[in-house]
């Protein structure tokens, strides 16, 4: 489940295509239902062929490939992978970019479950289509003051609020549990009831966890599909304190036992002993 650290790793992994000229964009034949792609592949190919990639950027959990005044926006969602090297199989490749020059370089977006999406947007449309009303500030750049302000305004449990991309962009189900464990805050606590110093603890934990996870190139879970640009797994899964560790002892307080609960139809893992407030 690519969240901010995994998507950031994907972006860094494809940095080599900056400066390269796209020769063509294709969607390989696929037996599965076609992925959501807008506009169609023929239009995308027409607009991007012969254009030079100017930069790569990330918006929350999306990868943006900029060329000319276009941005190809890839949203990996659950099982998507953007890579210049081998993807797990050839049957779930959803889009491929070929480049002039070295024919071995090609970028593939692979997505087994096909929940991911692909959009081609004018640079000038990014703000209106992707950001305003949809995405809050990025988790790695939001200020403490803005973070406190935003989480003061919702009554939902803090875990559920952390997943709302309109409040802060980039946190997903795995890192939300890890962040709250490091901050020693109960995932059940209504966000607006949490004191400013405790919200600061969550903010600090968010930056610490996300940056550490970026350094570890993300988390590769038991399904093994998430890989970095060299097709190696990430290593942050070895640092997980609570995620998917139900019934194991809490690594922090050594007294509690990790519990799994369900909030907003998502698993939450936490230590009821040391995350009481």
Out of 260, 266, 272, 273, the active site residue is 266
Q: What's the Cα-to-Cα distance from 253 to each of 148, 248, 273, rounded to whole Å?
A: 27, 12, 8
163 binds DNA (CB under 7 A): yes
With contacts defined by CB under 7 A, name the span among 38-46, 93-101, 168-176, 247-255 that binds DNA.
168-176
HSE-up (13 A, CA, CB side) for residue 253: 16
160 binds DNA (CB under 7 A): yes
| Binding-residue pattern over the window 171 to 200 for DNA, x denoting contact by CB under 7 A | -xxx--------------------------
205 binds DNA (CB under 7 A): no
234 binds DNA (CB under 7 A): no
**217 annotated active-site:** no
Of 103, 132, 155, 197, the one binding DNA by CB under 7 A? 155
Element at 210 (helix H, strand E): helix 196-215
* Cα distance between residue 233 and residue 13, in whole Å: 13
217 binds DNA (CB under 7 A): no
* Cα distance between residue 148 and residue 7, in whole Å: 25
Of 61, 66, 227, 240, the one binding DNA by CB under 7 A? 61
- Nearer to DNA among residue 33 and residue 102 (C-beta): 33
Go through the chain and tell me how many residues it has: 277
For 204, other C-beta atoms within 10 Å of its C-beta total 14
211 binds DNA (CB under 7 A): no
**3 annotated active-site:** yes
Of 54, 165, 208, 239, the one binding DNA by CB under 7 A? 165
Burial classification of residue 4, based on how many CB atoms lie within 10 Å of its CB (0-12 exposed, 13-18 middle, 19 or more buried):
buried
**Catalytic residue positions, numbered:** 2-3, 61, 266
| Residues near DNA (CB under 7 A) | 1, 3, 32-33, 60-62, 75, 77-78, 91-92, 112-115, 134, 153-156, 160, 163, 165, 172-174, 222-223, 264-267
């Amino acid at each position: 489940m690519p969240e901010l650290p995994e998507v950031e790793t994907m972006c860094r992994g494809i940095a080599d295509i900056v400066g390269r000229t796209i020769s063509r964009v294709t969607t390989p034949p696929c037996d599965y239902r076609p992925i959501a792609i807008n506009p169609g592949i023929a239009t995308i190919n027409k607009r991007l062929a012969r254009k030079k990639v100017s930069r790569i950027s990330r918006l929350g959990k999306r990868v943006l490939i900029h060329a000319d005044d276009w941005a190809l926006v890839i949203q990996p969602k659950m099982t998507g992978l953007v890579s210049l090297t081998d993807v797990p199989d050839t049957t779930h490749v959803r889009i491929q970019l070929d480049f002039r020059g070295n024919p071995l370089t090609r970028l593939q977006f692979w997505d087994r479950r096909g929940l991911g999406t692909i959009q081609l947007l004018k640079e000038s449309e990014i703000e209106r289509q992707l950001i305003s009303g949809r995405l809050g500030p990025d988790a790695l750049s939001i200020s403490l003051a803005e973070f406190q302000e935003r989480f003061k305004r919702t009554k939902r449990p803090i875990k559920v609020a952390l997943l709302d991309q309109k409040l802060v962009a980039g946190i997903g189900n795995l890192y939300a549990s890890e962040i709250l464990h490091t901050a020693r805050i109960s995932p059940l606590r209504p966000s607006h009831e949490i004191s400013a110093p405790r919200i600061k603890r969550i903010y600090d934990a968010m930056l610490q966890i996300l940056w550490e996870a970026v350094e570890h190139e993300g988390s590769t879970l038991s399904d093994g599909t998430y890989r970095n640009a060299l097709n190696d797994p990430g290593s942050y899964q070895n640092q997980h304190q609570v995620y998917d560790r139900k019934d194991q002892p809490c690594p922090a307080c050594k007294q509690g036992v990790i519990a799994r609960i369900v909030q907003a139809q998502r698993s939450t893992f936490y230590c009821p002993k040391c995350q009481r407030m």
